[in-house]
Structure 1
Amino acid sequence: MSRIWHIGLAVPDLERGMAEFGTLFGLTWRPVVVRSMTMTDEHGAAHDVDCHVTFSLGGPFAVELWQALPGTPLATPPGGYFHHVGYWTDDHAAEKQRLADLGYPDFLRSEPGLLIARGPGNVRVEPCDLGRDQPYLRDLYPPDSPYFGTPQLPTN
């Protein structure tokens, strides 16, 4: 199974990005969360990051915005904010191999299970594991997923 569920945008100022995209597309936002992780880039270099990120409410298609982190794979891409398309997959390991076979090597990876691959034309994709619960995004899971339901939004 693979279903597009979000687009990821790296913005230079998260609050401003939320205001601008909210006004442009009539979006409201989930609370901003901080994801602390070590990610490995396509050259094997490790980056310890604190990523400030939010997703739009509603859906099932969502917009993901994060504060761009210069010098890391989460920097604003050359030429604009667009970073990747995220889609659901039933078998994350098999999908990683399928992407490699199609000429989409890892662009970044992190535990648990974050992978963004980059292919021709600098297109970046994020296969998202349907077997991994992300409670604050439950409303964005496909209806036949065991994790689909009411999101448990952080209260920070």
Structure 2
Amino acid sequence: MAIELPGIHAHVGIVTCDLDASIESVGALLGITFNEPFDGALAPPFASGDGSPTPGLRRVTTSRGGPMRVELLEGRPGSVWHTDEIARLHHVAYWVDDVTASTRRMMSAGWDVEVTVANPDAIPIGFAYLTKPGHARIELTDGSDLDTTLAQLGWGEYATLLRGG
């Protein structure tokens, strides 16, 4: 069953074993610069699709400006973001108005929740990674305050473009 992705393309996520080396190599390859990395410990706790805790991130950064939006993630061992490679495509992300509803829609088409923000109700909130055999991993992320998010990531100039303007 095909499903139309429910949001606006946000970024591509690339996992790395060495964030500093990846900032240099991916930046040079794609002609982009990156924001200062932030400590993954600042992120909320994560849970697998069944609600059980899962390891998180070491460090994260996002590209600054264009020509494309990239997120670099260095994961802790055992996390969905852990790799032994300098740069490996991890996910394609979309901003959606309602992460929970959009996730449920994708689950009805055979997608599984891999990781989301840990919460007492064990429902996808904030963001969710969804997987389906034979498909790319998809991230749905909260786009309810898109202008603020874009400005914080240094992507503010794309707000009009992202909305089809």
Q: TM-score range by the shorter chain?
A: 0.7 to 0.9
Letter in 2 for 1:63: V
Equivalent residues of 1:10, 1:77 under 8 A apart: no
Unaligned ranges ≥5, structure 1: 146-156
Alpha carbons of 1:8 and 1:57: their partners in 2 closer, same or farther (altered >3 Å)? same
State the identity as a percent.
Answer: 27
Q: Which residue of 1 aligns with 2:59?
A: 52
The answer to whether 1:109 aligns with 2:125 is no
Q: Which residue of 2 aligns with 1:139?
A: 155
Letter in 2 for 1:40: A
Moved more, 131-140 or 90-99: 131-140
The answer to whether 1:130 aligns with 2:143 is yes
The answer to whether 1:84 aligns with 2:97 is no
Q: Which residue of 2 aligns with 1:120?
A: 133
The answer to whether 1:8 aligns with 2:22 is no
Unaligned ranges ≥5, structure 2: 1-5, 119-124
How far residue 77 of structure 1 moved from its aligned partner, in angstroms, is: 8.7
Secondary structure of the structure 2 residue equivalent to 1:70 = coil
Q: Which residue of 2 aligns with 1:19?
A: 24
Q: CA RMSD in A?
A: 2.7
Q: Which residue of 2 aligns with 1:41?
A: 48
TM-score (norm 1): 0.78
Equivalent-residue separation in structure 2 for 1:95 and 1:54 (angstroms): 25
Q: Which residue of 1 aligns with 2:73?
A: 66
